[in-house]
Structure 1
Amino acid sequence: MAAVAGVVIPAHNEERVIARTLERLADGVSPGDLDVVVVCNGCTDRTATVARAAAPWARVLDVPKPSKVEAVRVGNAAGTVFPRVHLDADVAISGADVLNLVQPLREPGVLATAPQRVLVRDRSSRLVRWFYDVWEQLPQVRTGLFGRGVVAVSEEGQRRVDGLPRLMSDDLAISEVFEPGERRVVWTAFAEVRAPGTFRDLIRRRVRVATGNAQAVQADVRRPESSTTLATLARLSLRKPSLAPRVPLFLLVGVVARLQSRRAVRSGDFTTWLRDESSRA
C-alpha cells in the first residue's frame, strides 16, 4: 500500500520527547500510511536509539552536523512521498490529524497547510500565559503557518520552499513564501505545542524569534503584514478589552527580545539556537 504522506522530523538531542512524538504519529493511521524519516543531527544523547525503539516502522538517519537546515535537506532527499509534512521533534500531532492536514493539498491552488495550534500552558508561569494570551490573538499568528511546529506542502510547494534562502525562522519563511490563497490553516487538524515554563524561558525563545525575524527582513522574505504594530495591538485591545492589561507585558517582552538579539544580528550570527529546554521537560 502506498503511503499517503511523507513526514520529515529533524531531531537534535530530543531523547526526552521523540518517543512521544512518534507514538502520536501512529495514532489513527494504518501501517504504511505515513513514510516517516527522522534525521538525528549532531546528537550527543540517545535520540536515535529511542526513535528506533519507539517506531521501528520509521527510518532513522544520523548526520554528524548539528544543523536543522542540513537535517531537513537530508530528510527531503531521503523522502519520495508527497504531500510532505515537516514536523518539529517536540511537537505532538496524531497520524489522523496528519491525514486531515494533507487533504486540502489535493485541491487546486493549495500548496501549504498547517494545523490548528493547541498551546499547552499547564506548566507555564502567569506572565508566560499572559504573553501568549495576546500573541495567540494577533491576526498574523491566527492565519500564518508559523509557530505551529508542523507545515505540510505539496510537491510544487516543496519546490518553492527549496528556493528559499537558509533562514533561522524557517517556518516563518515557509509561511511568507505562499500567498494567502495558497496556504491554509486546517481546522480539523491539531498540533500540541508546549509553551515555555518561566519568564526567562520565554525571553530566550523570543530572542531567537527576534533574531530570525531580523534575518528574514534582511533577506527580503518577511511580509510587512506579518509584523506586529502598535496599531495592531490597539485594535486588539478594543476588540478584546480583557487583553488590554496584558498588552504592556507583551510590548516589554518584544523590546527586551529585540535588544538582546542585537549582538547576534550585528555579527550575522543566525545559527546559534537558543533552545527552550522547559518545553521538553
Structure 2
Amino acid sequence: MLVDNLFIASLAATWLILFYHVILTIGGYRHFVKTLTSVEPDLELSEYPMVTVLIPAHNEEMVIGRTVDAMARLIYPQDRLEIIVVNDCSTDRTGKILAEKCAKYPQLKVVTLAPPLGAKGKSNALNNGLKASKGDYIVVYDADNTPERRAVLYLVHAILQDEKLGAVVGKFRTRNKEASLLTRFINVETLSFQWLLQAGRCHFFGITTIPGTNFIIRRSLLDSMGGWNVNALTEDTELTIRIYDSGYRIFWLPHAVTWEQEPETLRVWLKQRTRWAQGNMWIIGQYLFKLFTLRDLRISADIIYFTFTYFVFFVAIIVSDLIFILGILGLTQLTVSGPFNIIWLLAYALFIVETYISLSLERGEGNGKNLALTALMYFTYSQLWIILVFRASYLLLKRKLQKDSGFHWYKTERSAL
C-alpha cells in the first residue's frame, strides 16, 4: 500500500508540472505573436538616455577582446553610451587585451580591482562597476557575450515605454551549439527555457527572471536597492525578487539578442549548473518563509514553483525511478491497477511536444534534427538534473556548515571558439 501511494503521489506531481508547462507553452506562443511586430526594425528613439554597459571579467583572455569589439559596434549614439569592463583580479592576459582595446575605443573604461577590494565574485565586481558608471540605465553582459548591434537599442526602447518596468530582459543564443552533442542539448534547453518559462510566464503572469546577461535596469532602482547582493550565488534571480518587491515589473523582449558561449565539456557544465542549483536553493531558503511579506504575490507564487521543482518534483522523480528499479529486481510490486505504461508514454510525448513547440518559435530551430535531440535528451541530458540537485544540496550544506561567506568567483571556463 505504501509503495502504491508513493507511486501515485509521484505521478501526480509529475503531471502537475507537465500541465503547468502546457499553460506556459500556450503563453509562450501568444507572447511570440504579440512581440512579432511590436518593434520596428528601423527603430529610432525620440530621446537617447545615457546608458552604461557593465561587463564583469575575471581571467577572460579567451573571449574579452571579441566581446569588447561587439560592444563597440552597438547601434547607439556614442556620446550616450559608455562601456565599463570590471577587470577583477585577472591573472591572465585580460588586462593587457583591455589596455589595447582602450586605445582603440574612447567609450571604453576599465575598472581594475585588486585584493582586498576584488576577488569577491560577480556581484562585487558589478557593484564596483556601478560606482564608476554615469548611465541612467545599466545594461549587463557576461564577458563571453556578443550582442547583436541593435540589442541595447531595443532594450532602451522597451524600458522607456513603461515607467513601472524596472528591467527588460533580452534573449540569449548559443554561439557554439555545433561544438558537441552537449552544446546541442544546451541549445535546445536554453531556447525551450526562454520561449516556455520566460515568455509564457511573462505573458500570463507578468513574471520574468533576469538571466544574468543581456538585460537593462534603471539606475535609480539599482541604487535604491543597494546594488547586487554579494551573498547570492545566483545574483540575477535574487535581484529579480527584489525588483518585484520594489513594485516594479520585468519584461522579456526576444528582439534584443546576444550570443554566448556554452560549456563544451560535461565537467565545465556540471560545475556551472551546480552553482546555479546551489544559488536557486539558497534563494528558496532565504525567501520561502517570507512569501506573505513580499509586496508582489506573483513573485511569491514563482518562489513556490521553484520550491516545488527542486524538492517535490525532485523527490517524485527519485521515488518513481526507485520503484521502477525495485520492480525490475523483483523487490517490490505495485498492487494498484491502471494504464500506467500509457500514462508514462503520454508524459514522454507531452515533454517532446512542449519542447518542440518552443523550439519552433525560433527561426531555423524547428527541424527534425532538434526533434530527435529532444526525444533523446529526455533519457540522457534531462536525467543529469538529478545528479545536479544531489550535488548542489551536498555543497550547499557543506558551505553552510563551514560558514563560507560566498565571496568567490564562480566563472565558467571558456574556449577559444
* TM-score normalised by L of structure 1: 0.85
Q: 1:228, CA displacement in angstroms?
A: 7.7
CA–CA separation in structure 2 for the residues paired with 1:155 and 1:271: 24
- 1:203 and 2:260 correspond: no
Structure 1 runs not aligned, ≥5 long: none
Partner of 2:100: 53
- 1:216 and 2:347 correspond: no
Structure 2 runs not aligned, ≥5 long: 1-46, 203-207, 289-301, 317-346, 357-370
- 1:150 and 2:196 correspond: no
Change (3 A) 1:274 1:153: closer
Partner of 2:119: 66
Change (3 A) 1:30 1:135: closer
Letter in 1 for 2:123: V
Given candidates 170, 177, 181, the residue that maps to 2:242 is: 177
Q: 1:226, CA displacement in angstroms?
A: 4.7
Change (3 A) 1:96 1:24: same
CA–CA separation in structure 1 for the residues paired with 2:303 and 2:179: 31
Change (3 A) 1:265 1:52: same
Change (3 A) 1:227 1:247: farther
**2:127–2:227: 8 Å Cα contact kept in structure 1?**
no
- 1:26 and 2:80 correspond: no
Q: How many residues align?
A: 280
Given candidates 24, 29, 38, the residue that maps to 2:85 is: 38
Change (3 A) 1:163 1:203: same
SS in 1 for 2:192: coil
Partner of 1:259: 390
Letter in 1 for 2:63: V
More helix by share: 2
Given candidates 90, 99, 106, the residue that maps to 2:153 is: 99
Q: 1:50, CA displacement in angstroms?
A: 1.1
CA–CA separation in structure 2 for the residues paired with 1:33 and 1:94: 18
SS in 2 for 1:62: strand
SS in 2 for 1:115: strand
SS in 2 for 1:220: helix
Q: 1:157, CA displacement in angstroms?
A: 3.1
Q: 1:108, CA displacement in angstroms?
A: 2.1
CA–CA separation in structure 2 for the residues paired with 1:196 and 1:31: 33
Runs (4+) off by over 4 Å: 271-274
* Structural RMSD (CA): 3.0
Change (3 A) 1:238 1:274: same
- Greater RCO (CA < 8 Å, at least 6 residues apart): 2
More strand by share: 1
* TM-score normalised by L of structure 2: 0.59
Same amino acid, percent of matched pairs: 20
Change (3 A) 1:275 1:123: farther
Q: Deviations over 1:221-241 (max 9, x none)?
A: 87233568459x875445347
Q: 1:12, CA displacement in angstroms?
A: 0.7
